[in-house]
């Protein structure tokens, strides 16, 4: 089976979507599938085809600051790649994705899509991520311009599948986790000497409004153990300088940096607690990576985030957007090391369901069903899709 993957965004691995898409591509190739990829990123190997980037004119600096490249459709290239494949998988409902789905339907090629872009990810650029009316409009536009032309939508969690169903998305919604790389696992790591006496808290994710890293900084400031806490913010994005300024109020300045995968694994295994303050999240593979290594989480209970479903106890949730609530949960975790040790093992066992090798098999099943035009009766939710 030859699979064409169309990605409007696929550049540096500084966001969850790019990381998970590249992981999908590499794992499909490792299983012997032929994969061709169309994206705006420079082709680094055979099977990758580059299209131009959209010129946003006076907004190019803003787009560059956000570290995201958006593809400009090359219809001739898309037609050639799609014509030669058995199934086309389109990642995003933007300009190139919309062009690709029209061409695929015209050529009568089987099409699957994915829902990786939450409306709040778009509206946050305008400070409107909490506007119900704006986000409802984006759901509607996504459907009308893109998702109504496909029979299959990959949903990383049951949470987002339910959201789509509630907004009238009538395709075959396949709930499949994006999966965790095998490199993420618990191991013994010697903590750097300068942090040996600190309680180390990690958060991972793009430095953007909807990720709410500022709430972690404020929550730590309000903790009664603030002077003994060291924050690590792993990621990159437009709010880096603003977060650094906020963090300057703390006795221990937050370490804000982007980490390569292997270094991130080591950092996770050095820390005492993981905090996930994001307001909007389709899956949050960053949170899954942390718990896979056994790092106990404290997660914002936002109604717009799937991450809250990873919490195994009430102690692992705090009131979203409430730094006092977060401070209380941090203090509780500091004061109960025995509980954290018990939860560590529970999270390691729980996270086994998100291993990439289990998830890739389900993606392949979706592709095969699309080629055969099959829509099996809904089956009971699998282990990998409990969120």
Q: Which residue has the higher pLDDT, 9 or 87?
A: 87
Q: What is the pLDDT of residue 379?
A: 46
Closest CA to 205 of 277, 116, 295: 277
Write down the pLDDT at residue 61: 65
Residue 13 has pLDDT above 60, yes or no: yes
Domains 2-179+355-385 and 193-352 equal at CATH topology level: yes
Identify the CATH assignment for 2-179+355-385 out of 3.40.50.460, 3.90.550.10, 3.40.190.10, 3.40.50.2000. Answer: 3.40.50.2000
pLDDT-based confidence at residue 1 (cuts at 50, 70, 90): very high
Q: Cβ distance 16 to 285 under 8 Å?
A: yes
**pLDDT at res. 260:** 92
Closest CA to 92 of 67, 119, 65: 119
- Output the pLDDT for position 9: 83
Count of CB atoms situated within 10 Å of the CB of 94 = 21
- Domain ranges across the chain: 2-179+355-385, 193-352
Residues 125, 127, 129, 135, Cα dihedral to 10°: -80
Instruction: For residue 380, name the pLDDT band (cuts at 50, 70, 90).
Output: very low
Q: Regarding predicted confidence, which is higher, 266 or 117?
A: 266
Structure confidence at residue 94 (pLDDT): 94
* Average pLDDT score over residue span 351-365: 92
378: how many CB neighbours lie within 10 A of its CB? 9
Task: State which of 47-56, 248-257, 281-290 shows the largest mean pLDDT.
Answer: 248-257
Task: Give tens-digit pLDDT for 311-348.
Answer: 999 999 999 999 999 999 999 999 999 999 999 999 99
Mean pLDDT for all residues in the chain? 91
Q: Is 268's pLDDT higher than 80?
A: yes
pLDDT digits (tens, 9 = 90+) for 16-67: 778 888 899 999 999 999 999 999 988 778 899 999 988 766 555 655 666 5
pTM for this entry = 0.84
Contacts of 350 (CB under 8 A, 6+ apart): 291, 310, 312
Alpha-carbon gap, residue 326 to 330, rounded angstroms = 6
Environment class of 283 (CB within 10 Å of its CB; exposed 0-12, middle 13-18, buried 19+): buried
Q: Is residue 205 over pLDDT 50?
A: yes
Lowest-confidence pick of 222-236, 256-270, 303-317, 373-387: 373-387
The CA-atom distances, in angstroms, between 371 and each of 1, 28, 98, 111 are 9, 16, 20, 8
What's the confidence (pLDDT) of residue 18? 80
Could you tell me the CATH superfamily of domain 193-352?
Glycogen Phosphorylase B; (3.40.50.2000)
Distance of alpha carbon 51 from alpha carbon 72, whole angstroms:
6
CA distances from 150 to 18, 132, 283, 304 (A): 22, 26, 22, 25
The model's pLDDT over 130-161, given as tens digits with 9 standing for 90+, comes to 788 999 999 999 999 999 999 999 999 999 99
């Amino acid at each position: 089976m030859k699979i064409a993957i169309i990605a409007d965004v696929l550049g540096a691995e500084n966001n969850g979507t790019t990381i998970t898409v590249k992981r999908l591509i590499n794992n499909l190739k490792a299983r012997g599938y032929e994969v061709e990829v169309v994206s705006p990123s420079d082709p680094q190997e055979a099977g990758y085809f580059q299209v131009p980037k959209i010129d946003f004119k006076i907004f190019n600096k803003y787009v560059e600051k956000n570290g995201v490249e958006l593809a400009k459709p090359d219809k001739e290239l898309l037609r050639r790649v799609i014509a030669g494949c058995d199934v086309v998988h389109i990642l995003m409902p933007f300009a190139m994705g919309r062009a690709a789905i029209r061409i695929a339907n015209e050529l009568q090629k089987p099409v699957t899509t994915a829902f990786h872009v939450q409306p709040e990810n778009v509206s946050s650029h305008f400070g409107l991520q909490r506007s119900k009316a704006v986000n409802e409009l984006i759901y509607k536009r996504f459907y009308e311009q893109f998702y109504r032309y496909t029979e299959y939508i990959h949903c990383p969690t049951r949470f987002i599948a339910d959201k789509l169903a509630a907004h009238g998305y009538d395709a075959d919604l396949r709930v499949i986790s994006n999966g965790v790389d095998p490199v993420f696992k618990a191991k013994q790591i010697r903590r750097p000497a300068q942090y040996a006496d600190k309680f180390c808290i990690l958060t991972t994710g793009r430095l953007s409004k909807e990720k709410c890293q500022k709430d972690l900084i404020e929550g730590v400031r309000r903790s009664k153990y603030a002077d003994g806490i060291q924050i690590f913010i792993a990621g990159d994005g437009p709010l880096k300088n603003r977060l650094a300024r906020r963090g300057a109020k703390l006795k221990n300045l937050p370490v804000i940096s982007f980490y390569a995968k292997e270094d991130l694994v080591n950092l996770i295994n050095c820390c005492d607690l993981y905090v996930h303050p994001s307001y909007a999240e389709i899956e949050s593979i960053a949170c899954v990576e942390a718990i896979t290594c056994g790092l106990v989480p404290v997660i914002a209970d936002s109604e717009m985030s799937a991450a809250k479903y990873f919490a195994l106890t009430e102690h692992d949730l705090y009131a979203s957007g409430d730094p006092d609530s977060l401070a209380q949960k941090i203090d509780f975790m500091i004061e109960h090391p025995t509980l954290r040790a018990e939860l560590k093992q529970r999270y390691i066992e729980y996270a086994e369901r998100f291993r990439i090798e289990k998830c890739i098999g389900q993606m392949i099943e979706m592709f095969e069903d699309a080629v055969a035009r099959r829509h099996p009766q809904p089956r009971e939710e699998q282990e990998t899709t409990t969120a």
